[in-house]
Amino acid sequence: MNNSFRHRGPATHINKIIFLIVGSSLITVILLVRLFNLQILQHEYFQKIATQSQLGYTEIPAQRGEIIIKDHHSNEEFLLATNTTLNLLYADPTLIKDAAYIADNIGPLILDIEYERATDNEKIQTIAKTIAPELSEEDI
């Protein structure tokens, strides 16, 4: 009789089934322990990361530089853009019950229209003094 075709008994099949049950149970226990660790024990850590990601506040400390152009008529340099540090003001629309009230109270904090108009008029007058009178309206 050939030994390679020997019939294995029911004990061998039971051992394989027990091995599969124990192995899958072990993997299930490992996954459950890992999930418990992530969801329960490290909850606050991941909650902090999620909150920071969702709020979207990122501080950019780098200075971007200035943009300067040179007038080809007078060879004078003009500053087009520069770095500015501004205050941050925001409101959560889901918490606002009376939008008109908020707009009336926050608006003056953001922009004083009379002051801005006066400042713009001063800048225009200062620039107008530096423009050569012989230039045409198109060149100006």
Each domain of the chain, given as residue ranges in start order, spans: 9-55, 81-130
Residue at 16: amino acid letter: K
pLDDT at 1: 47
**pTM: predicted TM-score of the whole model, two decimal places:** 0.34
pLDDT at 43: 93
What tens-digit pLDDT sequence spans the chain (140 residues)?
455 556 566 777 788 899 999 999 999 999 999 999 999 999 999 998 888 777 766 666 666 777 888 888 888 888 888 777 777 777 788 888 888 888 888 888 777 888 888 888 888 888 878 877 777 777 76
